[in-house]
Amino acid sequence: MKLIVSPFTNDTMTNDTMTKGMSRIDGRLKVTGAARYSAEFTPAGMVYAVLVGSTITKGTIRSIDTKAAEKAPGVLAVITHINSPKIAGYRVEPGKQEPAKGTYKLFYNNKILFNGQPIAVVIANTFERAQYAASLVKAQYIADTHQTKLAENTAKAFAPEGDGKKTRGIADAWKTAPVKLEQEYIIPSETHSPMELHAIIAKWDAPDKLTVWTKTQGVQDTQDGIANIFKLPKANIQVNSKFVGGAFGSALQVWPHEVAAILAAQVVKRPVKLVLGRADMFTSVGYRPHTWQKIGIGANADGKLVGITHEANGQTSTYEDFNEGPAGVSHSTYACPNVNTIYKITPLDIGSPTWMRGPGEATGAFALESALDELSYALNIDPIELRIINNAETDPDNGKPFSSKYLKEAYKLGADGIGWSDRKAKPASVTKNGWLEGYGMAVGMFGAYRDKASARAIMMADGTLIIQTAVSDIGPGTGTAMVTIASDIMGIPADKIRFDMGDSSLPQAPSQGGSSTTATVGSAVYQACTDLKENFQKLIGNGGTDKPDYVAVLKKNNLPKLEVTSAVSGGPEMEKYAMYSWSVHFIKVLVHPATGVVKVDKAVCVADSGHIVSPKTARSQIVGGAIGGIGMALMEEVIIDHRYGRLVNNSFADYHLPVNADIPQIEALFVNKPDPYLNPMGAKGMGEIALIGMAAAVANAVFNATGKRIRELPITPDKLVGMENLLES
């Protein structure tokens, strides 16, 4: 595919210019309540399903009493491992061994692998009746000793396939450096906690034909997933997910509750709706795994890095190996001749983790960017200066040139934005109105990817352009960006363009994940519009015109419409260049010396995300990711009562995440220079980098404010309390 840098402006953008940009194309539906999410459809005859979860953490179900539930009013069926129809995809091929690891299999046997594991599903004609009947299901268990504590099970840790040890240069070279440190950094498990509960409506249209409305980041990946589990032809499964109420990685796979609803609909022969409760959201749809890390880092007195050793050990489930490579950031972020990483995962009796915004890079960046900050104090070099000294001009891992990298510009923008010159290098030296004040910064990086995708562009006789592709939108504003691209190429106003998505029957698109939607699907939309315009030029003849009158051309040629479907994939540039998006987060905190309360006073986030296609939604995406990162830094933590292996804080009252009062105005700044190689728009991803590095930026600011280095997240007041003496000195 020919790479074209479109003639968008590349001026640096600020908050002010952002608000003047185009509003969301689906905004009106969202502010009027007309946008329908997965649980908000009502096929005729629909009934309700509620799951029953295991109350033990490991063992077997000895017996399960469903009689009372079955007799309760309105109950149509209760399905357990005893009476569940066999699921075709779970069957082990004759002569083959049952695989040791794999996705959790619903109602497969009587084994309990984690607390809250679904052991039954109750189907009734109203939600209230299903919920009440679910409370009547009683199981007797034979409990086995469970293990839910990472620190006590490190002996079981092993290197995940393909991502264990990796060494560049000499291992442990940091130890030879004149200035060095070695520290441990710990993050707890965190949950995605999207506001929309995971939900599915399953409807069998025929014994081998299924329609689902389900919360998913990828309608076609869900279609594949269901096809594999139920051994149905892919074409027989219709997946709808037009509006997704946030996901952050939690809707990238087919979960057991989706299997339960599909199974239930099969058994009761009616459409079934299943909405997870908020408590289930903490145990049933993955989480960012609790991870221990250790970094050894050393530099010469001039700040030049000598070596980094980065170890990581993250938890996973006993039945599935989840590998997110958190130590990878130490290989790619800075020019350092000697880097060795060791990554292990530890199986515990907990449900499987999954990708959560920023995945391994966010975990790894907390450790690396905290360590770099510690090193800057040890060297007495400004943290920004230290990063510039070690700036990688080419990919340190393979020597490839970067397709684009404007990190140095980003440092400058952010430093000016936050007022970095007001920062005092000496920790705990500034107090204002009884609060300690400090500044911190940190870098985030994430690979800029591009996958294959298709889009259809249809010009209707009335001049309406319809763009269709099977992408999902979990909130970043995919449709708005796609319409902006189409409008730019076709030369027609955005309000003449309709964008269809979230439907598995539309042209191929990958799941929304890994910050790749604009690069991937945007390229397909770009190509389809370019091809459609070319077809119009051919109809016009003589080379056409740059601004065709589409309506007139269709009329003249007696055509009701003109349409084209175009498929694109990443070009050879993907091999030639190292492609990354970069962010720099700048934070000013106030810390209350007596109570240890941390307030984020100011945040400035700078993104090197290539050309910004949709300024208003891009700004919101950066601000939102930053807030997620502030939650990671200051409050989010899944707490397990290890005596029972059960979650203690599985509610929004107890699992603290940022609320409005916690968040100041956040400035999002964009370098806004196009990447010449990744895609024709010059865009790079920004969903992940919005969060990656933020937790370290906050921790670094807290150190600057207090002189206390918090290496275990979240930075709750109990870790800082009792610093009144700092005010007196």
Which positions are annotated as active-site residues? 688
Alpha helix (H) ranges present in 248-358?
A: 256-268, 278-281, 329-332
Cβ distance to other proteins smaller for residue 396 or 625: 625
Smallest gap from residue 495 Cβ to other proteins (A): 14
Smallest gap from residue 140 Cβ to other proteins (A): 6
Cβ distance to other proteins smaller for residue 26 or 395: 26
Sign of CA dihedral 407, 410, 416, 417: negative
Taking CB under 8 A as the criterion, which residues in 261-320 touch other proteins?
275, 277-278
Query: At 84, which amino acid appears?
Result: S
Cβ distance to other proteins smaller for residue 27 or 707: 27
Q: Which of 327, 350, 353 is nearest to 340 (CA)?
A: 327
Does residue 32 belong to the site contacting other proteins (CB under 8 A)?
yes
Cβ distance to other proteins smaller for residue 139 or 413: 139
Taking CB under 8 A as the criterion, which residues in 608-667 touch other proteins?
616-617, 619-621, 623-628, 651-653, 657-666
Identify whether the C-beta of residue 471 lies closer than 8 Å to the C-beta of residue 465.
Answer: no
Separation CA 705–CA 542 (nearest Å): 69
Identify whether the C-beta of residue 144 lies closer than 8 Å to the C-beta of residue 58.
Answer: yes
Cβ distance to other proteins smaller for residue 28 or 424: 28
Does residue 533 belong to the site contacting other proteins (CB under 8 A)?
no
Q: Which of 354, 341, 353, 264 is nearest to 307 (CA)?
A: 341
43 prior amide bond cis, ω within 30: no
Taking CB under 8 A as the criterion, which residues in 662-681 touch other proteins?
662-666
Smallest gap from residue 160 Cβ to other proteins (A): 29
Smallest gap from residue 602 Cβ to other proteins (A): 12
Smallest gap from residue 76 Cβ to other proteins (A): 11
**Helix or strand or coil: residue 514?**
coil
Smallest gap from residue 80 Cβ to other proteins (A): 15
Cβ distance to other proteins smaller for residue 116 or 307: 116
Selected binder of other proteins within 3, 4, 5, 29 (CB under 8 A): 29
Classify residue 572 by burial, with Cβ atoms within 10 Å: 0-12, 13-18, 19+: exposed
Taking CB under 8 A as the criterion, which residues in 402-421 touch other proteins?
none
Does residue 203 belong to the site contacting other proteins (CB under 8 A)?
no
Q: Which stretch binds other proteins (CB under 8 A): 67-75, 382-390, 436-444, 672-680?
A: 67-75
Cβ distance to other proteins smaller for residue 548 or 628: 628
Does residue 44 belong to the site contacting other proteins (CB under 8 A)?
no
Give how many residues touch other proteins by CB under 8 A: 81
Does residue 67 belong to the site contacting other proteins (CB under 8 A)?
no
Selected binder of other proteins within 6, 12, 55, 238 (CB under 8 A): 55
**Who's near 92: CB < 8 A, 6+ residues apart?**
98
Cβ distance to other proteins smaller for residue 297 or 622: 622
Alpha helix (H) ranges present in 213-358?
A: 219-230, 256-268, 278-281, 329-332
**Helix or strand or coil: residue 570?**
coil
Does residue 378 belong to the site contacting other proteins (CB under 8 A)?
no
Does residue 30 belong to the site contacting other proteins (CB under 8 A)?
yes
Separation CA 10–CA 88 (nearest Å): 54
Does residue 45 belong to the site contacting other proteins (CB under 8 A)?
no
Does residue 16 belong to the site contacting other proteins (CB under 8 A)?
no
Q: Which of 357, 360, 359, 363 is nearest to 248 (CA)?
A: 357
Selected binder of other proteins within 6, 10, 27, 488 (CB under 8 A): 27
Binding mask 473-512 for other proteins (x = CB under 8 A): -xxxx-----------------------------------
Separation CA 282–CA 90 (nearest Å): 25
Does residue 143 belong to the site contacting other proteins (CB under 8 A)?
yes
Q: Which stretch binds other proteins (CB under 8 A): 56-64, 461-469, 673-681, 719-727?
A: 56-64
Cβ distance to other proteins smaller for residue 658 or 674: 658
Query: At 397, which amino acid appears?
Result: D
Tokens of 645: 């292996």
Taking CB under 8 A as the criterion, which residues in 76-135 touch other proteins?
126-128, 132
Smallest gap from residue 219 Cβ to other proteins (A): 16
Cβ distance to other proteins smaller for residue 3 or 197: 197
Does residue 335 belong to the site contacting other proteins (CB under 8 A)?
no
Does residue 689 belong to the site contacting other proteins (CB under 8 A)?
no
Classify residue 689 by burial, with Cβ atoms within 10 Å: 0-12, 13-18, 19+: buried
Selected binder of other proteins within 10, 70, 144, 597 (CB under 8 A): 144
Q: Which of 446, 351, 396 is nearest to 148 (CA)?
A: 351
Q: Which of 128, 129, 275 is nearest to 214 (CA)?
A: 275
Side-chain-side CA neighbours of residue 462 (13 Å): 6
Does residue 154 belong to the site contacting other proteins (CB under 8 A)?
no
Alpha helix (H) ranges present in 421-468?
A: none
Taking CB under 8 A as the criterion, which residues in 211-250 touch other proteins?
243-246, 248
Q: In angstroms, what CA-CA distances link 135 with 25, 51, 123, 401, 648? A: 43, 10, 12, 60, 20
For 712-725, b/e burial (b = at least 16 CB within 10 A) is: ebbbbeeebeebee
Does residue 139 belong to the site contacting other proteins (CB under 8 A)?
yes
Taking CB under 8 A as the criterion, which residues in 168-197 touch other proteins?
192-197
